[in-house]
Amino acid sequence: MNIKSLAVFAAALLLLGQAYLHAAGKSALPTGVIRAGSLCNKKLIFDTSVAATGKLAQMGYTYDVHRHTFQPYVVNMPKGAPGGRRWTERWVYSIDGKEVPITIDFSEAGLGAADFTIRH
């Protein structure tokens, strides 16, 4: 490898490193959560979303799926035996520029089923 190629490689590596650090700074997790995303399947996310939308309405917010977003986060990983595990997630809704967190406790109700309780 000649000097010019080495310099180009070093510059590219430096730029990639800076891009990674910039992206990592923007994706910092909120306090009290351990990872982004949800442990729920699509059906459980749908069912929970309906109830969470009702909770938001009780709090005075109108959630519009076309104008607003939500980001789920895991607060703690499942504990317990399969079919009886429990975990907690925090879903953060972005409504008209305001971040509104909803905390949800999940518990398996046998294999393939789960219950949830919404907290604020």
Band (108; pLDDT cuts 50, 70, 90):
very high
Which range marks the domain in which residue 86 is found?
A: 31-119
Is the same domain home to 106 and 66? yes
Is the same domain home to 24 and 62? no
Laid out side by side, the sheet with 35-36 consists of 35-36, 69-79, 86-95, 98-108, 114-119
pLDDT in tens, 53-89: 999 999 999 999 899 999 999 999 999 999 999 999 9
CB 85 within 8 A of CB 79: yes
Is the same domain home to 60 and 115? yes
For the entire predicted model, the pTM comes to 0.74
CA angle, corner 44, sides to 42 and 49, nearest 5? 95
Is the same domain home to 52 and 86? yes
Is the same domain home to 4 and 50? no
